[in-house]
Chains A and B, each alone.
Chain A
Amino acid sequence: MVHQYKSNGYNIVLDVNSGCVHVVDDLAYDVIALWEKKTPEEIANEMLAKYGSAEGVDKKEIEQVIADVRALQEDGSLFSEDVYRDAVIDFKKRHAVVKALCLHVAHDCNLGCKYCFADEGEYMGRRALMSFEVGKQALDFLIQNSGSRVNLEVDFFGGEPLMNFDVVKQLVAYGRSQEKEHNKKFRFTITTNGVLLNDEILDFVNQEMGNIVLSIDGRKEVNDRMRPFRNGNGSSYDLILPKFRKVAESRHQDNYYVRGTYTHFNRDFASDVLHLADQGFEQISVEPVVAPSTADYAIREEDVPELCAEYDRLAKEILARRKAGKGFNFFHFMIDLTGGPCIYKRISGCGAGTEYLAVTPWGDLYPCHQFVGNTDFLLGNVYEGIKNTELQDKFKLCNVYARESCKDCFAKFWCSGGCSANAYHFSGDINGNYEIGCELQRKRIECAVMIKAAEAAMEAENAQEI
C-alpha cells in the first residue's frame, strides 16, 4: 500500500508496509501514482506528454525515473507486501504478561473540568482514595504477572493523584524496595492538574518519576472555561502556570509534558499550543477531546477540515521556530523514521486489557482508565487477578487486523489501530471505528512526516552552504 500527498511544497510518498518515506519531485510523484494502474510504456508516454516540454525532462530521463521506482519496488521499500498478518496471530497467542498499571490513587478531584471522562474524578461511582494496602497489592500483582519483563510502568492517576500524595510516596518506596529481589525496574509517572503541587512534591517527583504530565489547555480563557475550580471561583490557569514553569525548568525541559485538551470551543487550538510554547514550555501535547456527540463541546464531523488546517498551521510554525532556534516538541508530531518500535508493537495495539490495566481505589482491574466505572468491563481485582478471561481474550485480539476500517488506512502502523475505548464509545465495539479520531490522526501523521521532509531539506541546504 502506498499513500501519496502534497504538503507545504513537499511531495511525499509513504510505503505503508515497509515504513519507508520518500520525498519526490512532480515527475516521480506522477509515475508512482500510475505505477499499479498502467504499464511502464503507458506511463512513459503519459509523462512525456505532460512533462516533455519541461527543462531537463526527456524520454531518457523519464525512463530513468521508471527504473528508479522499479529498483525501490525490488528493494522492498516501495509497493511492498504486507507480511505481518501471520505474526500478529502468533503474537496474540502468547501468554499475556502485565507490564503497566494506571493506578487510580484518588477518585476525587479539586477541579471540575467540564469534559472530564472521569466524571470530575468519581468515575460514575463514589469518591475514594486508594489505601497503601490496595496499592501495595497492585504492585505485587504487577511483579507477579510481569513474567520476564524488566521495565514496569506505574502511572499515578486520578481524579487528582496529589490528593493522595502520602500513599503515592509510600508506594514508590515499596516499589523501589522490590526491584532488586525481583529484577524489575519501576518507571513511575504521574498525571496532575497541579493545584496541590508544591516544592516538596516537586522534589519528590523529580527524584522518582520518569515523566510528569501537567494538565493545562493553553490560553487562559480557554483553560478556565473548561477547567474551573469546583466552586466556580478563581482561575486555575493563574494558579498552575507558574508552578508548571517551575516543573519544566527543574526537569531541564525534558521528561515532562504540558498536556491540554481541545474542544469544539477552541478549534483554533494551534494558538493554544503556541501560547504554551510562548510561556516557555518545550514538551507539549494538546489533544482532541473525546466526548459523547451530544455534548456541546464535542468535536463534530464538520469541525474536521478546520482542525486539519490548524495542524497544518502548527506544523509550519514549528518549522519556522526550529529554524529560528526556538523549537519545541509537539507530542503528536514526534515520529521516529529511522528507529521507533518494532512491527509487533505497531500491529498489536495499545495493550489495554492485557499488558496495561487500570486499578481503582479499591483494587478492581479494568482494561484501561477509560473503561473504569463501566462494570461491563470489570476484569477482576488485584487480590484474585483476572477473573473475566473471556473479556481479556477480546482485548488480546485488538490489533490493526481486527479493525475493518484499518485495512486500507495508511496510518495503521503509526497509530497501531487507535484507542479501543474511543472505538467502543462511538461504535459500541472495542474493534469498531471512531472516524473523527482517525481523520485527525491521519492528518497529524501527514504533518509529522512533512516536518521530517522539511528538516531533511534544511539539513541538505546547510550542508551545501558548508
Chain B
Amino acid sequence: MKRIQTLNSRNLKDSLKVGGCGECQTSCQSACKTSCTVANQHCENKKK
C-alpha cells in the first residue's frame, strides 16, 4: 500500500487462542512501582 504502512503484522486477537499462561513478569515488578505498564513486557509462553 503506497500511502499506508503497517508497522506490525501481529493481531492481538490471535493471542486469544494461545495466551493466558501467566508466566510473564508482573508489571509492577519491573521498574515502575507506581504505574501499570504492560506494553513493553515479554511474552513467556513456551507453548505457543
With a cutoff of 8 Å between Cβ atoms, the chain A residues found around residue B30 in the complex are 211, 257, 331
CA distance A340 to B27 in the complex (A): 12
* Closest chain A residue, CB of each to CB of B28: A350
Q: Which of A19, A355, A418 meets B11, CB within 8 Å?
A: A19
From known contacts A287-B34, A352-B28, A415-B36, infer whether A21 and B6 are also in contact, taking CB-CB under 8 Å: yes
The interface residues of chain B lying within 8 Å CB-to-CB of A415 are 35-39
Alpha-carbon distance A27/B1, docked complex (angstroms) = 13
Q: How far is the CA of A171 from the CA of B7 in the complex (A)?
A: 44
Which residue, A87, A149, A351, has most C-beta atoms of chain B within 10 A?
A: A351
Number of interface residues of A (CB under 8 A): 84
Task: Report whether over half of chain B's contact residues are helix, strand or loop; otherwise say mixed.
Answer: loop
- Name A452's contact: one of B7, B10, B23, B32 (CB within 8 Å): B7
Task: Given A149-B22, A356-B29, answer yes or no on A290-B3 (Cβ-Cβ < 8 Å).
Answer: no
| A84-B7 Cα distance, complex, nearest whole Å | 23
Q: Quick check: B22 and A97 within 8 Å, CB to CB? A: yes
B31 pairs with A213, CB closer than 8 A? yes
> Are A77 and B33 interface neighbours, CB within 8 A?
no
Q: Pick the residue among A18, A77, A100, A150 that contacts B26 (CB under 8 A).
A: A100
Q: Are A338 and B3 in contact (CB under 8 A)?
A: no
Interface presence of A381 (CB below 8 A): no
Bound Cα distance from A87 to B20, whole angstroms: 10
Q: How large is the interface on B (under 10, 10 to 19, 20 to 34, 35 or more residues)?
A: 35 or more
B window 1-48: CB within 8 A of A: 1-13, 15-16, 18-20, 22-45
Chain B residues with Cβ below 8 Å from A441 are: 35
**Cβ-closest chain B residue relative to A290:** B34
Q: Are B13 and A342 touching (Cβ within 8 A)?
A: no
- Interface status of A349 (Cβ within 8 A of chain B): yes
CB <8 Å contact, B15 and A335:
no
B29 touches A335 (CB 8 A): no
A287 to B7: give the CA distance in the assembly, Å: 27
Which one of A27, A151, A339, A356 lies within 8 Å of B3 (CB-CB)?
A: A27
A263 CB within 8 Å of chain B = no
CB distance from B15 to the nearest CB of A (A): 4
Contact A343 B10 (CB under 8 A): no
Question: With an 8 A cutoff between CB atoms, is A396 at the interface?
Answer: no
Check A445 for interface membership: any CB of B closer than 8 A: yes
Is there a chain B Cβ closer than 8 Å to A20's Cβ? yes
**When the two chains form the complex, which single residue of A117, A287, A331 contacts B40, counting CB atoms closer than 8 Å?**
A331
Within 8 A of B (CB), among A10-26: 17-25
Q: Which of A153, A288, A419 has the most CB of B within 10 A?
A: A419
Task: Decide: B7 and A342 in contact? CB cutoff 8 A.
Answer: no
Q: Which of B3, B6, B32 contacts A25 (CB under 8 A)?
A: B3
Contact A341 B7 (CB under 8 A): no
Q: Which residues of A contact B2 (CB under 8 A)?
A: 64
Known: A28-B3, A352-B28, A415-B36. A337 touches B10 (CB 8 A): yes
Verify B10–A370 contact, CB threshold 8 A: no
Instruction: Check A23–B45 contact: CB distance below 8 A.
Output: no
**Smallest beta-carbon distance B28→chain A, Å:** 5
Q: What distance in Å separates the Cβ of A359 from its nearest Cβ neighbour in chain B?
A: 14
Contact of B6 among A77, A334, A336 (CB under 8 A): A77
Q: Judge whether A343 and B26 touch: CB under 8 Å.
A: no
Taking Cβ atoms with an 8 Å cutoff, the residues of B that contact A are 1-13, 15-16, 18-20, 22-45
With A416-B38, A419-B35 given, name 15 new contacts (CB 8 A): A24-B5, A68-B1, A100-B26, A149-B22, A149-B23, A285-B31, A331-B31, A342-B45, A343-B12, A343-B16, A344-B15, A344-B16, A355-B22, A413-B12, A418-B35
A residues with a Cβ closer than 8 A to B are 17-25, 27-28, 64-65, 68-69, 72, 76-77, 80, 83-84, 87, 91, 97, 99-100, 102, 117, 149-151, 153, 155, 187, 189, 191, 211, 213, 257, 259, 261, 285, 287-288, 290, 331-332, 334-346, 349-352, 355-356, 368-370, 413-419, 422, 437, 441, 445, 448, 452-453, 456
10 shortest A-B CB distances, which residue pairs? Answer: A342-B19, A342-B15, A334-B40, A344-B20, A100-B26, A19-B12, A337-B8, A257-B31, A414-B39, A28-B3
